[in-house]
Amino acid sequence: MGLEKVSGLIVYGFPLGEADQLISCFTSGGNQVKFVAKGSRKVKSKLAAAVQLFIFGEYVYYSSRGLPFLRQADILKSFAGVRRSLPKSGAAFAAVELCRLLIAEEARETEAFNLVMAYLLFLEDRDYDSLVFDSFRLKFAASLGYGMDFSRCANCGAPLKSGWLYWPAGGAVCPRCRGPAGIEVGPRGLSLLQEMGQRDFAGLQGLDPGLARPGAAFVDSLINWLTQGKTKAQAFRSVFEGR
Ligand SMILES: [Zn+2]
């Protein structure tokens, strides 16, 4: 109740009526809050710029009974460098889509928030890189408690040279534990997944670009499992990476 102030990233805007939007914001405290931005679809609206997707800003909203209303908004970081590039904004849309789908209202997922900010800041100054995008998605899953192990069988603990990805078990499983598991992954694939989980974003830019395609297939299957197939924004890659 009353006025609340948060800083956070805009992760979704849903049109309401003729001129308003229901906005979802992933806050620096790791929660997803929703508020109505009145008139924010009108050209002259003062709020319009501050509630665009992947704006990082400060938002003051008033909550009483029903939906809170946005009173004031200030842009802290607009990520103009990301917006000027189609592949980079595609990656940013996919990043905020994951936040919208996987962050609950009172989640307190501050590690996930810091990670998505770190990725957007990295994108702001560098070229789009497929392996970095997948590393971000793998780490984002890990920050939410879905850290996957690719060095040992996730079921019996035996060291793995090759195996099958099986997300419900927590990573990859050995031939003996295979069960219903899906995607086969060889030694190079396993070491790629470990590198994507462990190296920092800059460190991944030196890897063989030929690894981008298998890396994307592995992480797509993880994200598909985590979101129950609800993500759509990763489709930008079919345009920019020829998938
Ligand atoms: Zn096993």
Q: Where are the domains of the chain?
A: 2-78, 81-240
Name the DSSP class of 91.
H
Residue 243, pLDDT > 60, answer no
144 CA distance to ligand 1 centroid (A)? 25
All residues with CB under 5 Å from ion ligand 1:
153, 155-156, 158, 174, 177
197 CA distance to ligand 1 centroid (A)? 21
Residues 45, 49, 52, 57, Cα dihedral to 10°: -120
Q: Which residue has the higher pLDDT, 239 or 156?
A: 156
The CATH superfamily holding the domain 81-240 is Recombination protein O, C-terminal domain (1.20.1440.120)
115-146 pLDDT per residue, tens: 999 999 999 999 999 999 999 999 999 999 99
pLDDT the model gives residue 238: 78
CATH 2.40.50.140 for domain 2-78, yes or no, is yes
145 CA distance to ligand 1 centroid (A)? 21
Residue 241, pLDDT > 80, answer no
What integer best gives the mean pLDDT of the chain? 93
106 CA distance to ligand 1 centroid (A)? 36
The helix (H) or strand (E) run that includes residue 240 is helix 236-240
147 CA distance to ligand 1 centroid (A)? 18
79 CA distance to ligand 1 centroid (A)? 45
pLDDT the model gives residue 181: 65
* Tokens 């345009």, residue located: 239
68-115 pLDDT per residue, tens: 999 999 999 999 999 999 999 999 999 999 999 999 999 899 999 999
